[in-house]
Amino acid sequence: MWGSECEISGQQLLQCVVEVAQAAFRAEASSVFLIDEETGELVFEAVSGQGEEHLVGTRFPAGTGIAGWVAACGQPMLADDLDESDQFSGEAAESTGYVPRTVAAAPLFRAGECIGVLEVLDRAQEDEEELRTLELLGLLASQAAMGLELLQRLRLSNRQAAAASAVSSGAAANTEAINRISAGLQHLNPDESRLLSQVLELAGGLADTASNRAGRGR
């Protein structure tokens, strides 16, 4: 079990990611599912927009809906006509209290394994390009996964030295990704831009904590 400091930081980081994703795509909702390692279920871990008051902690069986397909295949997906999507589960959507018209989803990877899914529901689509949508979604998913990786490293006190070397390269990649996202999102207002900065700050803080603990363990 994580210590309370790490657990709170993890929740904050994931919440920042979904809030940034919702603002970036001007969407009705955004969420992060994580895969329960024991059951394989998809668990709502953070939600922004529709359903944020009650969905966190809700579980779906493995393979459910578009999130289940993305988790199983490890591939991003844009579904702009859900009536024609074989992967979309209307029943699962109805159970959340919100049935979207469109879904964009990207996997979260850690050590080459899919550990969760970032979804954006009913994004604004004026003048958007499919490749740009997938790139931005993928970058945001990477931030969530990187933050979770750092949190896991904080838990592994017997592997502190390995954490220190990985954190250094991870923090640099995190900064580059945030800068790329920022450059493409001029429509964000100051409050939304601050949310984006918080993602980097939280990940950077976790990285510093891991490095400090690793240094003390030498």
**Residues of 65-84 as b/e, b for ≥16 C-beta within 10 angstroms?**
bbbbbbbeeeebbbbeebee
Give the residue with greater pLDDT, 182 vs 53. 53
Average pLDDT along the chain? 77
CA distance 130 to 114: 22
Return the minimum-mean-pLDDT range out of 25-29, 130-134, 180-184. Answer: 180-184
Distance CA 12, CA 2 (A): 14
Q: Is the pTM of this model over 0.85?
A: no
* pLDDT given for residue 159 in this prediction: 47
Domains, the chain, with CATH or none: 4-217 (3.30.450.40)
Each residue's pLDDT tens digit, 94-146:
999 999 999 999 999 988 899 999 999 999 876 567 878 888 899 889 888 88
